[in-house]
Amino acid sequence: MLRPPTSSLALVLSSLLCAFGCADARGRFEDFQNRLRNEPDSGVEADAGPCVPPDPNTVSGPALLALDTNLIPGKPVLFLGTITTPAADGTTAVDFVYHAVAALDRHTLVGPELEVGPYPLQAGELIAPIAESTLDGRANPQLYGSPIDSEMTLRGRICGVHAFYCGTLDGDTTGLISGPFTGHFGITLLPSPGAVPDRPRFGCGSTDLADPLAPDGG
């Protein structure tokens, strides 16, 4: 796997540019939605029984990754890009091409395009160590404009074909906000690259939702 990112807070999941430019993006998402008709919205709750990962290449498309930590609880850092699930090491893997998203509007892409993965899902378990990197300060929801250096590991269960996956994380950060941290992450498949929900979901709990932005974008 890992091609460590070098200048943005790294995380998990074909290219973001393709996601914006491919004419069949909505058709591919509608095909994905058809596979979800009889599925619940999440397949990664802990202790939910045996976990079978999705078949290779069955989960793909625009995706939003939301990261919430105990250092700035309830204010997730967002990453927008494209998730793919290629075959790797005899199983399905998760690969994510993405940009960080500006905290003021939750739509503007900031920093360079980066990639993490592919992470093989042995028995559906996602273990994603992320090398030390720097989050663009414009994506910082607590101290806008202040970059954050951090390293972390994401842990979750990617079971079956769903529109949402989630898990936990732990790591260390330095800068204005520093120290060890824990938290949660959520991966939401989107109908189109810019369709960020008003309240992004950042964890496995049904109430793990970010507050909507204030009218002035704050």
From CA 190, how far away is CA 156, in angstroms rounded?
Answer: 20
**Could you tell me where the DSSP H helices lie in 22-75?**
25-35
Give the global pTM: 0.78
In this prediction, residue 217 carries a pLDDT of: 54
- Please compute Rg for the chain using Cα positions: 16
From CA 7, how far away is CA 11, in angstroms rounded?
Answer: 12
Collapsing DSSP to helix, strand or coil, 56 comes out as: coil
Q: Which of 20, 209, 152, 41 is nearest to 98 (CA)?
A: 20
The domain spans of the chain are 16-189
β pairing state of 87-88 and 179-189: unpaired
DSSP states along 86-103: -EETTEEEEEEEEEEE-T
In this prediction, residue 50 carries a pLDDT of: 86
Q: Which of 84, 169, 156 is nearest to 125 (CA)?
A: 156
From CA 6, how far away is CA 23, in angstroms rounded?
Answer: 31
**pLDDT tens digits, 22-46:** 444 444 444 444 443 334 444 444 4
From CA 21, how far away is CA 15, in angstroms rounded?
Answer: 10
**pLDDT tens digits, 122-143:** 999 999 998 888 999 999 999 9
Lowest mean pLDDT among 9-18, 27-36, 49-58, 189-198: 9-18
pLDDT band, residue 152 (cuts 50/70/90): very high
Nearby residues of 10 by Cβ (< 8 Å), 6 or more positions away = 4, 114, 116, 130, 131, 133, 152
**pLDDT tens digits, 55-81:** 999 999 999 999 999 999 999 999 999
